[in-house]
Amino acid sequence: MVLEFLSPYLGSYFETIRVIIIIVISLFVAKAINFFLDRGIRRLTEKTKTTLDDKLVHAIRKPILLGALLTGVYFSLHSLSYLSGYAALINQAFTVVFVLFVSLFLVRTVNAVIEWYGEEILSKTKAQEQMIPIFRKIAYIVIGLIALLWLMNQLGIQITTLVATLGIGGLAVALALQDTLKEFFAGMYIMADRPIKIGDYIELDSGQKGFVEDIGWRTTKIKMLGNNRIIIPNSKLSSSIITNYYAPTREMSVVVPVGVGYGSDLEKVEKITIDVAKKVLKKTDGAVENFEPFIRYKEFGDSNINFSVILRVKKYVNKYKLTHEFIKALKKRYDKEGIEIAWPIRKVYFAKKKVD
């Protein structure tokens, strides 16, 4: 209103001054947004535990400032009377700029989310670190394709045929790479769901055991204790029943089956067995020293009264050493105490045949 009132006095300088004022206002708005993000939002995000909000604020800061300046330039150009004949061209140009601006905004936002996911959610493993660039490239390609189609549509270019062609081409590629894509998405599922991770000791439903050495795009590598390597397709692994001996914790129980003769004093057997177990736990590497071992009688066997001794180790592979030491120590103590571990025997009774 003020400019309109002063226009007769400003003459030929009126439009120039109006453009300058619009640019100055857009700069002021950009500075105000920058101040709000820096002093207000940023201080709030610093108080949260997650870094996602910090990364998002940093990602959108420059695009928002750029958007404010571009808005000022747009209105400035439309305010110039000698450019009124080029209004349609200006609109088309800024349509392109707007599409590119939205694409930039989305790319920076998605990149911030992917970085946060890689730093706070995914484990620091080689396989998962390799997946971050893949996620980023896929996101960039999707955003780029959407931006291209949107831009073509805004410029009046028919995209129906192009979309149909892309759909048919994508279907053909998907069919040609069906097995590869199946393994790839199975690998992504394993990394996202994380039923296993590198370094875990697992057992498959096929009976194979070993340490997870690598989770790749197509296969997962497992190293057995015998230093052999098993290579499993990700699709097969994702559909298998897996026992993870390192989840939820590495510490686990070890059950050792034992049997004593029927003539044994079971109270004495229990007392001696627990005493031996405690001593072995304290001196064996990898055993949980403060664990209280116990036994449970379970059946009357053919030759012995069978029971289980429950011990505890810090991780799965320690069970072999602990079982080894416990069996040696228990046999030695049983021999000393006169406790019999009976040989497998079978009594056969013959019926007497009457002789006429």
Pair (281, 333) in one structural domain: yes
Pair (239, 262) in one structural domain: no
Provide the pLDDT for residue 238: 81
Instruction: Note whether residue 181 is domain-resident.
Output: no
The DSSP letter of residue 240 is S
Pair (31, 123) in one structural domain: yes
Instruction: Note whether residue 210 is domain-resident.
Output: yes
Instruction: Note whether residue 240 is domain-resident.
Output: yes
Instruction: Note whether residue 90 is domain-resident.
Output: yes
The DSSP letter of residue 344 is P
| Spatial CB neighbours of 160, under 8 Å, sequence gap ≥ 6 | none
Provide the pLDDT for residue 71: 81
Whether 226 and 155 have beta carbons less than 8 Å apart is answered as no
Pair (239, 317) in one structural domain: no
Instruction: Note whether residue 49 is domain-resident.
Output: yes
Instruction: Note whether residue 73 is domain-resident.
Output: yes
Domain count, the chain: 3
List the structure tokens of 22.
């619009």
Pair (93, 51) in one structural domain: yes
Pair (36, 98) in one structural domain: yes
Pair (123, 47) in one structural domain: yes
Closest by CA to 34, choosing from 67, 73, 71, is: 67
Instruction: Note whether residue 188 is domain-resident.
Output: no
The domain that holds 281 is classified in CATH as 3.30.70.100
Integer Cα distance of 235 and 229 in angstroms? 18
Provide the pLDDT for residue 314: 94
**pLDDT tens per residue, the chain (356 residues)?**
444 544 554 445 556 777 777 778 888 887 787 777 777 677 677 677 777 777 777 777 788 788 888 888 877 777 777 677 777 787 778 888 888 888 888 888 888 888 877 777 665 555 556 667 777 778 888 888 888 877 777 777 776 766 677 677 767 766 666 666 667 677 777 766 678 888 899 999 888 899 998 887 778 889 998 889 999 888 888 888 889 999 889 999 999 999 999 989 999 999 999 999 999 999 999 999 999 999 999 999 888 999 999 999 999 999 999 999 999 999 999 999 999 988 777 767 776 666 55
Pair (131, 221) in one structural domain: no
Closest by CA to 143, choosing from 114, 178, 100, is: 100
Pair (237, 256) in one structural domain: no
Pair (11, 153) in one structural domain: yes
The gap between the terminal CA atoms of the chain, to the nearest Å, is 140
Q: Of the candidates 148, 175, 202, which is a domain's last residue?
A: 175
Integer Cα distance of 128 and 217 in angstroms? 10
Pair (159, 304) in one structural domain: no
The residue segments making up the domain with residue 211 are 194-244
Provide the pLDDT for residue 9: 43
Cβ-defined contacts of 233-238 (< 8 Å, 24+): 233/183, 233/186, 234/183, 234/184, 234/186, 234/187, 234/189, 234/190, 235/182, 235/183, 235/186, 237/186, 237/190, 237/204, 238/186, 238/189, 238/190
Integer Cα distance of 296 and 106 in angstroms? 62
* Bridge pairing between strands 219-223 and 229-233: antiparallel
Pair (152, 217) in one structural domain: no
List the structure tokens of 343.
């040989």
Instruction: Note whether residue 233 is domain-resident.
Output: yes
| Spatial CB neighbours of 154, under 8 Å, sequence gap ≥ 6 | 95, 99
Closest by CA to 146, choosing from 110, 115, 118, 173, is: 110
- CB count in 10 Å sphere of residue 115: 16
Provide the pLDDT for residue 130: 61
The domain that holds 210 is classified in CATH as 2.30.30.60
Bond before 195 cis per omega within 30 degrees: no
